[in-house]
């Protein structure tokens, strides 16, 4: 036994070990084997990342706190959907949260790339499984006291030296591992800050501090993307252990996207590895799609456009348009929750489209189906927690009932949402946006502002379409009212009045508002204005729609055209007649009245003067 193992009093120093391995039989065998050594005591076991981090966090400051971790680096590799890098992620997490805790890898034979990556992350020791106890136990003691013990580093499984090209490949994959680990740490921090920002009770000062922190994290993420190169495809797959081969066009950033919040472990908060993305079947896919596929990897919920919309959702959502909206019936927090949910669902839709084979021109053919899927997913998730409700003696499935109106919603709401194709192509393929007949390229301030307005209108209109079937089927159900409705609209009379106002609004819009907007070549969009929802008018050529108008809508445009044709002449005639009337009244009648009045006044004045002089004369006599 090494002299460093014994303390100054001559007593044996005890090492408390934690085993992290998803093979329960191996853990049992190793614990039994180490039990014969009095200075090695297994105090904790774990079979997953979450359990390991939770156990270590609970043991901090206690007598059973481990002072050495024995880890299987291939943790979870039996599950192909997880890939093989989960062990390296755990190493990074352990070195971040418990920097003084030594890690000893006891794994199946590892590749040189994995060994280099683990050594770079700070792992202190390694022995392959099957190592004799006479070698393993001294190695464990050596690492436990702070030394480094590696049985091999850059040798292949058959102990043959590694070629120079393999070393270069190892370095490339190592850099990719560091990049991926750093990005996931940053994404975890961003997710935590975003959750804090969403707190409705947050003070204004705290909100500014947290949003500033989030901007700093995004800047750090950008720097990591810029400074750390990406490993080659083959190296990534070798490290990840997936066994897949990427096509040459696959963008490296595709594998670096942060997982969604739903894929984060609930207890540890670290992101779990995402399933391998669907591979394209066409290796000769258009170069535009290949080169622009990285656009969305940076335009997820962290992108400036979607993030600006998210920030606006934190403020007031009062309806400032002067016309009722379906979402007006919701509580403020429910309204915000619905809009935020739709934003996340839209983000998921964009990611699905990014990995599909759709070309930009195909979006125009598929946009109705895309919106329908977005509406269905948003409806399901928003009402998922309350999927059944008691109506009388019946147990009614809310979601299935609401989704029955899919065709009506498609025709009345979804198909009428403008500029959907433009915003999807803008985000997916960085196509320019036409603003007042001028093309603005991706990323320009004008294009960003217009895209932001289009996106906000899309969210609000989808939200209206989610609430509309609820008003048809469950408008006056008490359980729904108590959970979702604004307290000012909770009575049966107010609900009936609200529905009637919506009905008259759509009649007016159908026969007057919509044909007027088409005739005037403009769209009326709903946007988030900081303090509430406002209406914005933008120019857009709508000649094709104008030619398709029929019936009352066509009559409305003809009435507008007639008014435009007659009104100027009528105004000119009225103005001319008005001028004549004014002339007659002022110059003729007015002057005549003025002369008469002047004569009367003069006569009265003369009479008064004569009367006064007459009286004075009598006095002199």
In the DSSP assignment, the letter for residue 14 is: P
As a whole number of angstroms, the distance between CA 40 and CA 28 comes to 15
Give the C-alpha separation, 28 to 324, whole Å.
66
Which of the two residues, 62 and 173, has the higher pLDDT score?
A: 62
pLDDT at 525: 93
Q: Which carries the bigger pLDDT value, residue 47 or residue 289?
A: 47
For residue 183, pLDDT over 50 is answered with: yes
pLDDT at 7 over 80: no
Question: Is 90 exceeded by the pLDDT of residue 2?
Answer: no
Q: Has residue 144 got a pLDDT over 50? A: yes
Length of the chain: 621
pLDDT band of residue 463 (cuts 50, 70, 90) is very high
Residue 403 above 60 pLDDT? yes
CB 321 within 8 Å of CB 382 = no
Mean local confidence (pLDDT), 612-617: 57
For residue 73, what are its two tokens?
A: 């680096």
Rounded to the nearest integer, the mean pLDDT of the chain is 75
Taking 80 as the threshold, does the pLDDT of residue 346 lie above it?
Answer: yes
- Whether the Cβ atoms of residue 343 and residue 381 lie closer than 8 Å to each other: no
pLDDT at residue 172, as a whole number: 54
**Mean of pLDDT values over 315-319:** 84
Structure-token match 């070393």, residue found: 167
pLDDT over 80 (residue 267): no
Question: Each residue of 534-560: pLDDT tens digit?
Answer: 998 999 888 888 888 888 888 888 887
Angle, vertex CA 118, rays to CA 254 and CA 20, nearest 5: 100
What is the pLDDT, as a whole number, of residue 460?
93
Burial 72-88 (b: 16+ CB within 10 A, else e): bbbbbbeeeebbbbbbb
Which percentage of the chain shows pLDDT scores above 70?
75
CB 353 within 8 A of CB 428: yes
List of E strands, 152-277:
none
Using one digit for the tens of pLDDT, what is the confidence trace for 94-115? 888 888 899 999 987 777 777 8
Give the model confidence (pLDDT) of 25-39 as tens digits: 888 889 888 988 888
Tell me which residue of 239, 234, 223 sits closest to 121, measured CA to CA. 239
pLDDT tier, 161 (very low <50, low <70, confident <90, very high otherwise):
very low
Q: How far apart are CA 492 and CA 498, in angstroms?
A: 10
Higher-confidence position of 299 and 144: 144
Q: Of the ranges 105-109, 254-258, 389-393, which is most confident?
A: 105-109
Q: How confident is the model at residue 614 (pLDDT cuts 50, 70, 90)?
A: low
């Amino acid at each position: 036994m090494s002299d460093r193992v014994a303390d100054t009093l001559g007593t044996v120093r005890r090492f408390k070990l934690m085993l992290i391995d998803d093979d329960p039989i191996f853990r049992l065998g190793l614990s039994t084997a180490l039990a014969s050594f009095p200075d090695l005591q297994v105090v904790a076991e774990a079979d997953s990342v979450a359990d390991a981090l939770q156990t270590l966090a609970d043991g901090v400051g206690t007598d059973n706190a481990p002072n050495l971790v024995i880890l299987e680096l291939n943790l979870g590799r039996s599950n192909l959907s997880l890939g093989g890098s989960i062990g390296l992620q755990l190493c990074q997490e352990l070195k971040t949260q418990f920097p003084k805790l030594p890690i000893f890898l006891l794994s199946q034979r590892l590749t040189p790339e994995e060994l280099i990556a683990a050594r770079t992350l700070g792992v202190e020791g390694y022995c392959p499984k099957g190592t004799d106890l006479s070698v393993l136990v001294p190695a464990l003691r050596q690492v436990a006291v702070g030394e480094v013990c590696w049985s091999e580093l850059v040798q292949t499984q058959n102990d043959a030296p590694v070629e120079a090209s393999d070393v270069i490949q190892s370095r490339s994959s190592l850099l990719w591992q560091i990049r991926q680990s750093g990005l996931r740490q940053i994404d975890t921090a961003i997710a935590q800050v975003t959750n804090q920002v969403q707190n409705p009770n947050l003070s204004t000062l705290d909100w500014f501090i947290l949003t500033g922190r989030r901007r700093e994290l995004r800047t750090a993420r950008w720097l990591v993307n810029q400074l750390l190169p990406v490993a080659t495809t083959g190296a990534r797959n070798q490290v990840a252990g997936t066994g897949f081969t990427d096509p040459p066009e696959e963008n490296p950033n595709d594998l670096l996207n942060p997982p969604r919040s739903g894929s984060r472990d609930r207890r540890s908060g670290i992101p779990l590895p995402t399933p391998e993305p669907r591979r394209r079947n066409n290796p000769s896919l258009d170069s535009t799609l290949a080169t622009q596929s990285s656009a969305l990897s940076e335009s997820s919920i962290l992108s400036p456009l979607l993030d600006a919309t998210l920030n606006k959702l934190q403020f007031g959502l009062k309806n400032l348009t002067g016309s009722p909206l379906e979402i007006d019936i919701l509580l403020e927090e429910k309204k915000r929750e619905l809009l935020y949910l739709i934003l996340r669902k839209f983000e998921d839709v964009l990611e699905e489209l990014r990995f599909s084979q759709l070309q930009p021109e195909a979006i125009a053919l598929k946009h109705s189906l895309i919106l329908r899927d977005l509406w269905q997913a948003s409806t399901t998730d928003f009402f998922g927690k309350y999927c059944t409700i008691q109506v009388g003696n019946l147990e009614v499935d809310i979601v299935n009932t609401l989704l029955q109106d899919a065709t009506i919603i498609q025709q009345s709401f979804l198909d009428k949402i403008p500029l959907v194709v433009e915003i999807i192509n803008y985000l997916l393929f960085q196509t320019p946006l036409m603003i007042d007949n001028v093309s603005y390229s991706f990323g320009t301030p004008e294009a960003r502002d217009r895209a932001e307005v289009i996106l906000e209108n899309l969210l609000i209109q989808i939200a209206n379409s989610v609430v509309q079937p609820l008003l048809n089927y469950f408008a006056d159900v008490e359980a729904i009212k108590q959970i979702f409705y604004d307290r000012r609209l909770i009575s049966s009379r107010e609900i009936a009045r609200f529905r009637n106002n919506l009905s008259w609004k759509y009649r007016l819009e159908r026969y007057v508002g919509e044909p007027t907007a088409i005739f005037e070549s403009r769209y009326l969009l709903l946007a988030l204005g900081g303090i509430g929802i406002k209406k914005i008018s933008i120019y857009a050529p709508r000649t094709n729609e104008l030619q398709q108008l029929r019936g009352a809508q066509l009559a409305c445009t003809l009435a507008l055209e007639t008014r435009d044709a007659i009104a100027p002449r009528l105004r000119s005639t009225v103005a001319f007649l008005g001028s004549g009337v004014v002339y007659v009244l002022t110059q003729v009648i007015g002057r005549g009245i003025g002369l008469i009045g002047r004569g009367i006044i003069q006569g009265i004045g003369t009479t008064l003067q004569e009367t006064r002089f007459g009286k004075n004369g009598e006095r002199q006599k």
